[in-house]
Amino acid sequence: MPFAHHVFRHTPALRGLITPPDSSEMRFGQERFDELDLQAEAEGWPAGWRMDHDEREANRQAVLSGRLGQDLWVFAYGSLIWDPAVQVEEYRYGALPGWRRSFCMRLEGGRGTHERPGLMAALDEGGHCDGVVFRIGAALVEQETRFMWRREMFAGAYRPVFLEVMTPQGAVDALAFVMDRDNHRYMPDLPEEQAARMIALAEGGLGPNFAYLDSLVRHLDELGITDDAIRRLHARAGACRAKAG
């Protein structure tokens, strides 16, 4: 079912570009983890590759303590923008100062391997990030954040925090999933050439790592969101991939 018309009253250009939750492959229950566990075993992922279900739920309850009875704003910088997998009441454009999109998370499954890891985008400290914020209605926060935590916190490499996001309609206190700098997957301060080469050459069960970066750039362009650093990385990774044949 498409989103209601009023959801995009502040962002009419996004209407028709956002995947409704009932069409999203990212809206899944705990049974999905059984499939991923089998995949992890087949691909030789290390023990502890994902969060325990009880640990994940405890994290959700702690982060949302005192907020489950009110509307929830969420900042989106990647696939959450165009495929939130939750029921949304309102979209706004949002700017997050002090944070940036960065391919700083090592990827050893899906679009990478242990032998040739790739990289995934995350929010890291420093710089500026343009994206969107969306609002989940108070009555649905308990239900919808369960789906969100399964998706964003399945591996425990993010840290859910509340940050002030600037929007044309005013500042909002929004939930953001930022890179956990204490996580073993964090790869800070990679030179652009090294990051581009990792992305260009990595491939896993879900396909090439470059396809993930390519999809991100195409969607940001389609949505009218600018990120010059990501565009440079994309161009460099594409050239490296072409050179490698």
**Residue 35 reports pLDDT greater than 90:** no
Question: What are the tokens at 192?
Answer: 């652009």
Q: What is the pLDDT of residue 64?
A: 98
Say which amino acid occupies 129: C
141 contacts 70 by C-beta, under 8 angstroms: yes
Q: State the burial class of residue 87 (Cβ atoms within 10 Å of its Cβ: 0-12, 13-18, 19+).
A: buried
Q: What is the pLDDT of residue 199?
A: 98
177 contacts 167 by C-beta, under 8 angstroms: no
pLDDT in tens, 59-112: 999 999 999 999 999 999 999 999 999 999 999 999 999 999 999 999 988 898
Say whether 41 is catalytic. Answer: no
Q: What is the pLDDT of residue 18?
A: 95
Q: What is the CATH number of domain 5-105+119-186?
A: 3.10.490.10
Q: What is the pLDDT of residue 70?
A: 97
Specify the pTM.
0.93
Give 47 or 136, the one with higher predicted confidence.
136
Those residues whose C-beta lies under 8 Å from the C-beta of residue 218, and which sit 6 or more positions away, are none
Question: What are the tokens at 25?
Answer: 């492959």
Distance of alpha carbon 160 from alpha carbon 131, whole angstroms: 17
Q: What is the pLDDT of residue 39?
A: 76
Q: What is the pLDDT of residue 108?
A: 86
Main-chain dihedrals φ then ψ at residue 147, nearest 5 degrees: -65, -40
> Which listed residue (35, 125, 152, 193) is catalytic?
152
Distance of alpha carbon 93 from alpha carbon 168, whole angstroms: 7
**Residue 43 reports pLDDT greater than 90:** no
Q: Which of 37, 67, 40, 73 is nearest to 164 (CA)?
A: 73
pLDDT in tens, 122-131: 999 999 999 9
Strand 207-208 and strand 203-204: the pairing is antiparallel
| Number of CB atoms found within 10 A of residue 245's CB | 4
pLDDT in tens, 194-219: 999 999 999 988 899 999 999 999 99
CA 114 to chain centre: 22
Q: Determine the length of the chain.
A: 245
For residue 48, how many C-alpha atoms fall within 13 Å in the half-sphere facing its CB? 4
Give 40 or 17, the one with higher predicted confidence.
17
